[in-house]
Amino acid sequence: MQEFKLRDDFIKLGQALKAAGLVKSGAEAKNVIQNGMVKVNNRIETQRGKKLHDGDTVEYNGQIIKIIK
């Protein structure tokens, strides 16, 4: 599991995938999210703008990211 440290109170899901290096571009992030390939807190999430906060987990392509403050 990889940890991702927040700079603000939250980060949007698409931005987090890109910042963590799980996708190469915002367009790729949009595509994988809309196709139901990303889970937030063990639930499929299809909103690219979903706000992630301290303690949330994101899973994509066998990788897990934990959001920390």
Give the pLDDT confidence score for residue 7 in this predicted structure.
Answer: 92
Domain ranges of the chain: 2-68
DSSP letters for 3-18: EEE-SSS-EEHHHHHH
Give the pLDDT confidence score for residue 64 in this predicted structure.
Answer: 96
In the chain, beta strands by DSSP E? 2-5, 11-12, 38-40, 43-44, 51-52, 57-60, 63-68
Q: Is 15 exposed, middle or buried (0-12, 13-18, 19+ CB in 10 A)?
A: middle
Give the pLDDT confidence score for residue 13 in this predicted structure.
Answer: 97
User: Which homologous superfamily does the CATH classification assign to the domain defined by 2-68?
Assistant: RNA-binding S4 domain (3.10.290.10)
Q: Residue 10 — pLDDT band, cuts 50, 70, 90?
A: very high
* Segment 14-65, tens digit of pLDDT: 999 999 999 999 999 999 999 999 999 999 999 999 999 999 999 999 999 9
Give the pLDDT confidence score for residue 38 in this predicted structure.
Answer: 98
